[in-house]
A and B are shown apart, each in its own frame.
Chain A
Amino acid sequence: MRALQRYRIHLGTAAWILHRLSGLGLILYLLLHIWVIHHLAKGQAEFDGIMHSFNNPLFKFLEVGLVGVILYHLWNGLRVTLFDFGLFIEKQKQVFGAAVVLWLATWAVVAYAMLTRVGGLLAAVVRAGGGGLS
């Protein structure tokens, strides 16, 4: 991989590197997620305990970051899928531009919802509707 350091990073290369990194991030997140969820098997107290330890501003911030990682992987993944269907291959840079716009726009909306009362309200509705764990 030493060649990568010496060769110019074109737009397509950057899109690919970010795709790989976001994919790696998703795997790490999934492992963490499974580890957290496995506390369910240990009973309610254990699970509530671990959930409680995530209920702080740092994790809120990380969650917003996670959404960004997921959404990048999603939109660039769709970009590559278009190419697999033979669409817009000659316009890959413009398609990347569109993917970045959609990525940032959807990220902003979701982040806003998460960080403001909208998020809190939605969570409350979900909790009330789903009945939660109790």
Chain B
Amino acid sequence: MAHQDTEKKLVTFRVKRYNPEGGERTRFSQEYKVEVMKGQSVLDCLNEIRWKQDGSLTFRRSCKSGICGSCAMTINGVNRLACETQALALGSSTITVEPLKGFAVIKDLAVDIDPMVEKLLAVKPYLITKTPPPSDAERLQSPEERARLDGLYECILCGACTSSCPSFWADEQYLGPHAFLKAYRFIADSRDEAPGEHFDALDDKHGLWRCHTIFNCVEACPKSLNPTKAIEALRRELVKEKIG
């Protein structure tokens, strides 16, 4: 058994690259071979390529434990976190790695997520209160009120959902599932006193109504969250508010 566990397999990584400095090759695909051990993540393999084979390969990573959200990329045609995807578990001898779709590529696998952050800010992703807090305590919630935020607060803003969404591919101004999920996280919060302010950006032609319930965001989310559920709940709240 011990022998089996340390057995290595040769895997080819086909990485889609982009070199902004141009030169001979600007956009190209490059293959690297890595001896992969069971349990090794795609991020481990990319690190190995960068450290031992090609120092020019660029990608983002930080926590290596699925919490910072920086290593989202398209692996074998699906958006995932490189640090949470075991290379051998993919079961393919060639693994394709591409930058997140729908964003401008800065270099190789690093994309410009500024537009995504702007859309996030548009829904005011913070608690808005109008009354002063109690002088002697925090703003309290009942366990039930707190439970309403389960499945919403866990988002790590990796962008895997928005980048997997055909509505976003067709309309780059589309707010995107990450912004909707975050908006609902505050609208559903019993302590928030101005849900309307989060809604402002949502009721727009680039907002809620552009979701076509394709569920790519649900498939892509590495935290197993369900942005579609949030979008549908937001739509119902908006309709109720408009027609009473």
Asked if A133 is at the interface (CB within 8 A of a chain B CB), the reply is no
Within 8 A of A (CB), among B131-154: none
Known: A12-B214, A16-B166. A86 touches B77 (CB 8 A): no
Within 8 A of A (CB), among B162-193: 164, 166, 169-170
Within 8 A of A (CB), among B75-100: 76-78, 98
Output the least CB separation between A35 and chain B (Å). 30
How many B residues face the partner with a CB closer than 8 A? Answer: 25
In the complex, which residue of chain B has the Cβ closest to the Cβ of A9?
Answer: B77
Chain B residues whose CB sits within 8 angstroms of the CB of A3 once the complex forms: 101-102, 166, 169
Contact between B228 and A83 (Cβ–Cβ < 8 Å)? yes
Contact between A13 and B226 (Cβ–Cβ < 8 Å)? no
Asked if A8 is at the interface (CB within 8 A of a chain B CB), the reply is yes
Chain B residues whose CB sits within 8 angstroms of the CB of A11 once the complex forms: 215
With beta carbons under 8 angstroms apart, the residue of B74, B76, B213 that contacts A16 is: B213
Bound Cα distance from A13 to B79, whole angstroms: 14
Chain B residues whose CB sits within 8 angstroms of the CB of A12 once the complex forms: 213-216, 218-219
Contact between A16 and B232 (Cβ–Cβ < 8 Å)? no
Bound Cα distance from A12 to B216, whole angstroms: 7
Known: A13-B216, A16-B212, A90-B229. A7 touches B236 (CB 8 A): no
Bound Cα distance from A69 to B233, whole angstroms: 30
Contact between A7 and B164 (Cβ–Cβ < 8 Å)? yes
Chain B residues whose CB sits within 8 angstroms of the CB of A80 once the complex forms: 213
Output the least CB separation between B170 and chain A (Å). 7
A-B contact pairs, 20 of them (CB 8 A): A1-B169, A1-B170, A3-B102, A3-B169, A4-B166, A4-B169, A6-B74, A7-B78, A10-B219, A12-B218, A13-B166, A13-B215, A13-B216, A16-B214, A80-B213, A83-B213, A83-B228, A84-B213, A84-B232, A86-B233
The 8 A-B pairs at the shortest CB distance, nearest first, are namely: A12-B215, A8-B77, A3-B101, A16-B214, A3-B169, A89-B229, A10-B219, A8-B78
